[in-house]
Each structure stands twice: as C-alpha cells, then as structure tokens.
C-alpha cells in the first residue's frame, strides 16, 4: 500500500552565516520515513537533531537538497496547483509556540475559517458549522469563536492551533512539540482528545517531541533522530526496544515518577 | 517585637550567613476597568514560603496558579500591571526589603535563557563588568562549578553561539558569582530537552549539597519534584493549598489539586494498556 506521506533519502544543508562562507552545514541526510494512513508515529530526538527541519520538509515549507517527499506516491515538487491544494488540506501542522502561530488581531472564528476558505469549497454557513465542530472536538466552548487569542490562556490558544489544523479534516497532522510546553494535566487531556479523534476519523499523526513519555503514551511507533540521521526505531507495544546510544540517552533522562524510586 | 529592618546598605557578611528566608502573606493583585471603575483581581493570596539553606523547596501547580507571580513578589520583580498588596520578607527573622536582598541574599535563574542575556555581550562580559584579575578568577570558579570550565573559549562566546543548556548553565554560574545563600529558579528546565534538563537538575542538586544553597524551584513537572525536592508547596488559584515533605506528598496527597497533578503525572509515566486502534 502506498504510504500517506513518505520521505526518500531526504537531505538538507544550510549555508553558514557570515561574510566568510564555509562549507554548508548538513542538518539532515539520508532520511527514509513512511507514515501510513491512520498511523501514529513519534519522532524523538534532542534539541538540534533536525526534527523541526524534517517537519518543514515534510510539509513542503522548504525544499530538500536531496531526495524527495512523496504524498500518496506523488513527489511534492511535481504537484500542480490543484494537487498542492489537496496536499495542504490533507497535511496540517501544529507548532510549538501557540501565540506566535496565530494573528493576534484576528478573532478565533476568523483564524479557524482561514484554512476552510482557502482549502475547501464549503459555504459560509457550512464553515460556521465546521468551526463549532472543531471547537467542540478540542474541548473549547463555541463562544470562544468571538474571542481574540490574547483573551485566552496559553493552553487554550494551543487548542485553537490544533482546531485550525483539524478544520480541513486532514489525513495527517504534524505536531511539532505542540504539547511539550503544557503542564502535565493539559498534556494528558490533549493527548486523550487526539487519541479519540484518531479512533473516530482515522487521522494519522506525526508527533515530534523530545519527551519519550509523550511518545510512548501516544504513538504506535517511535523513530529516533540524532545528528540529522534516523538511528533507531521501534514499535511502542508491547514495549519500546531501543538500543542506539542516542535513544538510551533520551530514555535515561526521563525523570523519576516518585522520589527515591518509590 | 521590634524587628530589625535590613535595607539599603546591609552588612554583606550577615546576609551571606543567613539560614532562613521567609516570605509571609505575599499577596499580588491586578485590576480590571469596568464601568464602575477599577476592580482589583487577586492573583496571589497570602502565600507563605520558607526557604532554608541546604534544602530544596519546590513550588508546584498548574499553569496560571500564581507560582511565578509569588516568586516575582518574593524578589520584588513583579511585571507591569500587577502590584504587591501585602506580605513581608524575613531574613533570619529580620524584616528585609526585597529589593535590598536581590542579588545579595537571593540570586535567581529564569525560565527562558535566551531572553535573559544581552545578545550583544559575550558570556564573559556578562560575568564580569570589571575585567580585573579577581573578577576573572571568580568567573573561572563559577564556570567550573557549572561544568563550563573545560572549554577556554566559553567566556568569549555570544549567547547565540551557545545551546539552551549551556546558556542555562551560564545563568546558574552568574547566580553563583553573587555568592548569595538562596537561589530562586523559576521553571529552569522547561525550555530544555530532556537530556539537558536531567543534567541541569543534577547540577542544581549537586550545588545544594556542596555549597549548602537554599533552593526554591518553581515547576509544573512533578518529575522535577521527584528528582530534586525535599519539601513541596502546591499552589492553586493563588493560594498554597498543601505543603509537605516530597515523599509524603507523593504517598498521601491530601488536596484535590495535588491529586489531580499526581494523576496526570502518573498517567504520563505509565504505559497505557494497548488500546485497540483500527
């Protein structure tokens, strides 16, 4: 079966800054990753391992230097206007910092309507109905549509970002550290909501995080990224079987559940 | 009781020897404007905190419970739009002006290391305004204590050339250079990845042991509490609802707020039963 979204030998390098340009710095190399329909994959790695760069390449926000991203078998670079619109509606993303991801002068309703206006052909009334639906799905009051982002708490704005990503009924949602900044009760609440959305709609997720606890709780499969390469991967159930030193380092850094190893 | 008021020029030696920093009845409010005029909105209500040298006190609570504001009130660095409406700070039982204690008796480490530094100055430039020899020696000592001593280039680096973990170490080094007996750390590891977080927590625990620092650590992560804290104060809606030794708080939480935090914490640590997801 063709995977929903796949990376084939993906590589990316950034030029060094400054007037004396050295060799470009390689951020990603030889990335092969496939996400099936309805699958939930966690991409874990330390800061600077290339997680967010990979997310931007998968979203088509940047072009890779080598390799290709395939959306249902078709390379992203070769998509025509109509194909790109379908891709944008099918693959959505939630970013880490919620407040910088929304226009502070737009009401929540307008923020949520934006992807619907551009990526779907819903009527105005149908858009309103969809907005109420997604607000409900992320556990926010429909009245929130009239508020500005500044009038909501950080956790609420993060759920607005999630609602916006879900508005077009995407096949895949990329969560780039989207739950890392929330406190534990909110993390658990949000992950449980996402799990129930998965059961309902069969949405696939790519959860990008440095917290192996979140990955273990939510994903089917964990992929470990270290210094721009995929170094290890494992199914989450029955238990994680990771052996690469970079993966062990992340596992060992999990803080104790109780004092003194109770 | 005629409490001796410490303010302005305090005896530095006396401050460095202090054993207990106590905050009593800290209250902070903001206000909203309605058609009837200004209405006060309480944010922190009567918070008592006891920080003892050689001990780690953790202040925990959900987002928005007032943890950071209580700390800011303790240090007298409240953000604009809020004001302290009550409470006093006692250093070894003597009432003190928070502004006089800051940087002398209490040093602080903030959450986002990248915004806490001047981007146009090197780390060494932050550490010592006086480039003389005593300053350089103190700097070298502090950098060695936080694990930045091995690389001689560190003082010449600018903040953008350093990782978040290195910057947080540098901030702790700057706090140590003040030789203050108390350290307030507001979410010191929230912006770091788990590996860097574990190392910073090890460092803080080591400093508390080796130097007898009194540490107040603000966090929403009970994992941090489990790793580090001796005592825990739980905040909810601006009040401290429960204070207990860390072990007994995990074993027998009394308040609903504590139980809710613990339940979420344990849910993250437990591997959920294999859910059938089609």
Question: If pLDDT is split at 50, 70 and 90, which confidence band does A18 have?
Answer: low
Q: Do A262 and B247 touch (CB under 8 A)?
A: yes
pTM over 0.90: no
- Assess if residue B220 is contained within a domain: no
Q: What are the φ and ψ backbone dihedral angles of A7, each rounded to 5 degrees?
A: -110, 135
- Assess if residue B161 is contained within a domain: yes
Chain segment B150-207, per-residue pLDDT in tens: 778 888 888 888 878 888 888 888 888 888 899 999 888 877 788 888 888 999 999 8
Size of interface A-B (CB pairs under 8 A): 110
Question: If pLDDT is split at 50, 70 and 90, which confidence band does B99 have?
Answer: confident
Tokens representing A8 are 């084939």
Q: Do A153 and B63 touch (CB under 8 A)?
A: yes
Question: Does B128 have pLDDT greater than 60?
Answer: yes
Question: If pLDDT is split at 50, 70 and 90, which confidence band does A221 have?
Answer: very high
Nearest CB among A198, A214, A252 relative to B277 is that of: A198
Q: Do A255 and B226 touch (CB under 8 A)?
A: yes
Chain segment A128-183, per-residue pLDDT in tens: 999 999 998 888 888 888 989 888 877 788 889 999 999 999 999 999 988 877 78
Question: Does A34 have pLDDT greater than 70?
Answer: yes
- Assess if residue B152 is contained within a domain: yes
**Residue for token digits 């890779």?**
A64
- Assess if residue B149 is contained within a domain: yes
B275 vs B245 pLDDT, higher one: B245
Cis peptide before A238 (omega within 30 of 0): yes
Q: Which of B23-27, B137-141, B218-222 has the lowest mean pLDDT?
A: B137-141
- Assess if residue B139 is contained within a domain: yes
Residues of A in contact with B221 (CB under 8 A): 183-184, 255
Q: Do B268 and A253 touch (CB under 8 A)?
A: no
Q: Do A259 and B225 touch (CB under 8 A)?
A: yes
pLDDT (0 to 100) of residue B195: 85
Chain segment B208-224, per-residue pLDDT in tens: 998 899 999 999 889 99
For A148, half-sphere exposure in the C-beta direction (CA atoms, 13 angstrom radius) is 6
pLDDT (0 to 100) of residue A21: 65
CA-based nearest residue to A245, from A256, A229, A232: A232
Chain segment A109-118, per-residue pLDDT in tens: 999 999 999 9
Separation in Å, CA of A96 to nearest CA in chain B: 11
Separation in Å, CA of A172 to nearest CA in chain B: 16
Question: If pLDDT is split at 50, 70 and 90, which confidence band does A17 have?
Answer: low
**Stated length of chain A:** 262
**Stated length of chain B:** 278
CA distance B129 to A12: 41
Residues of B in contact with A48 (CB under 8 A): 163
- End-to-end CA distance of chain B: give it in Å, rounded: 71
Separation in Å, CA of B149 to nearest CA in chain A: 22
Helix (H) or strand (E) holding B210: helix B194-211
- Assess if residue B141 is contained within a domain: yes
Residues of A in contact with B229 (CB under 8 A): 259
Question: If pLDDT is split at 50, 70 and 90, which confidence band does B21 have?
Answer: very high
Mean pLDDT of chain A: 89
- Assess if residue B115 is contained within a domain: no
Separation in Å, CA of A258 to nearest CA in chain B: 5
CB-based contact, B225 to chain A, within 8 Å: yes
Q: Do A185 and B226 touch (CB under 8 A)?
A: no
Domains along chain A?
A: 5-15+25-253 (3.40.50.300)
CB-based contact, B258 to chain A, within 8 Å: no
Tell me how far the alpha carbon of residue B194 is from its chain's centroid.
19
Number of domains in chain B: 1
Q: Do A187 and B163 touch (CB under 8 A)?
A: no
Tokens representing B85 are 């409406």
- Assess if residue B226 is contained within a domain: no
Question: Does B49 have pLDDT greater than 50?
Answer: yes
CA distance A209 to A5: 19
Q: Do B269 and A213 touch (CB under 8 A)?
A: yes
Chain segment A182-191, per-residue pLDDT in tens: 788 888 888 8
pLDDT (0 to 100) of residue B12: 65
CB atoms within 10 A of CB B103: 13
A203 vs B2 pLDDT, higher one: A203
pLDDT (0 to 100) of residue A262: 45
Tokens representing B247 are 């072990």
DSSP B24-71: EEEEEEEEEEETTEEEEEEEEEEEEEEEETT-EEEEE-STTSSHHHHH
Mean predicted confidence (pLDDT) in A90-94: 94
pLDDT (0 to 100) of residue A7: 94
Question: Does B277 have pLDDT greater than 60?
Answer: no
Residues of B in contact with A42 (CB under 8 A): none
Mean pLDDT of chain B: 84
CA-based nearest residue to A48, from A242, A251, A228, A244: A228
CB-based contact, B251 to chain A, within 8 Å: yes
Helix residue ranges, H only, chain A: 51-58, 81-90, 108-119, 124-137, 154-166, 184-201, 212-218, 245-252
ipTM of this complex > 0.90? no
Question: Does B97 have pLDDT greater than 50?
Answer: yes
CB-based contact, B272 to chain A, within 8 Å: yes
Residues of B in contact with A195 (CB under 8 A): 275, 277
Q: Could you tell me the residue range of the domain that residue B159 belongs to?
A: 121-178
Contacts of B159 (CB under 8 A, 6+ apart): B114, B117, B118, B119, B123, B167
pLDDT (0 to 100) of residue A19: 65
């Amino acid at each position: 079966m063709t995977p929903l979204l796949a990376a084939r030998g993906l590589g990316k390098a950034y030029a060094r800054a400054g007037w004396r340009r050295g060799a470009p710095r390689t951020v990603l190399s030889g990335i092969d990753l496939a996400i099936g329909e309805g699958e939930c994959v966690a991409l874990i790695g330390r800061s600077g391992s290339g997680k967010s760069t990979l997310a931007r390449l998968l979203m088509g926000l940047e072009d890779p230097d080598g390799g290709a991203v395939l959306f249902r078998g078709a390379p992203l670079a070769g998509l025509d206007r109509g194909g790109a619109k379908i891709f944008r509606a099918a693959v959505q993303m939630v970013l880490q910092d919620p407040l910088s991801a929304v226009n502070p002068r737009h009401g929540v309703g307008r923020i949520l309507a934006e992807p619907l206006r551009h990526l779907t052909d819903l009527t105005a009334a149908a858009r309103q109905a969809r907005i109420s639906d997604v607000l409900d799905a992320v556990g926010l009051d429909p009245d929130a549509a009239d508020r500005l982002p500044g009038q909501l708490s950080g956790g609420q704005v993060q759920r607005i970002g999630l609602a916006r990503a879900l508005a077009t009924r995407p096949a895949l949602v990329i969560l780039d550290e989207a739950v890392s900044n929330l406190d534990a009760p909110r993390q658990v609440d949000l992950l449980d909501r996402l799990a129930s959305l998965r059961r309902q709609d069969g949405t696939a997720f790519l959860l990008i995080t440095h917290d192996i606890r979140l990955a273990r709780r939510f994903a089917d499969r964990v992929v470990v990224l270290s210094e721009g390469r995929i170094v290890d991967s494992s199914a989450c159930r029955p238990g994680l079987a990771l052996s690469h030193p970079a993966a062990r380092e992340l596992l060992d850094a999990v803080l104790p559940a109780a004092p003194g190893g109770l | 009781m005629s409490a001796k008021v410490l303010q302005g020029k305090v005896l530095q030696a006396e401050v460095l020897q202090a054993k207990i920093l106590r905050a009593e009845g800290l209250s902070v409010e903001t206000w909203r404007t309605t058609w009837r005029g200004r209405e006060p909105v309480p944010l922190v209500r009567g918070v008592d905190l006891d920080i003892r040298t050689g001990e780690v006190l953790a202040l925990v609570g959900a987002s928005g419970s007032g943890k950071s504001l209580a700390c800011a009130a303790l240090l007298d660095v409240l953000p604009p739009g809020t004001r302290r409406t009550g409470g006093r700070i006692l250093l070894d039982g003597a009432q003190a002006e928070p502004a006089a204690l800051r940087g002398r008796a209490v040093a602080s480490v903030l959450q986002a290391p990248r915004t806490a530094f001047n981007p146009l100055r090197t780390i060494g430039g932050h550490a010592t305004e006086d480039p003389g020899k005593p300053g350089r020696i103190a700097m070298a000592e502090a950098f060695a204590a936080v694990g930045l001593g091995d690389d001689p280039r560190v003082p010449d680096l600018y903040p953008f050339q350093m990782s978040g973990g290195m910057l947080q170490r540098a901030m702790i080094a700057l706090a140590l250079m003040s030789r203050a007996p108390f350290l307030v750390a507001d979410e010191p590891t929230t912006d770091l990845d788990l590996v860097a977080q574990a190392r910073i927590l090890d460092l803080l625990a080591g400093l508390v042991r080796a130097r007898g620092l009194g540490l107040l650590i603000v966090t929403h992560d009970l994992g941090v509490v489990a790793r580090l804290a001796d005592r825990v104060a739980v905040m909810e809606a601006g009040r401290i609802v429960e204070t207990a030794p860390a072990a007994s708080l995990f074993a027998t939480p009394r308040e609903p707020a504590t139980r809710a935090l613990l339940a979420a914490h344990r849910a993250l640590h437990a591997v959920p039963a294999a859910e059938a997801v089609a």
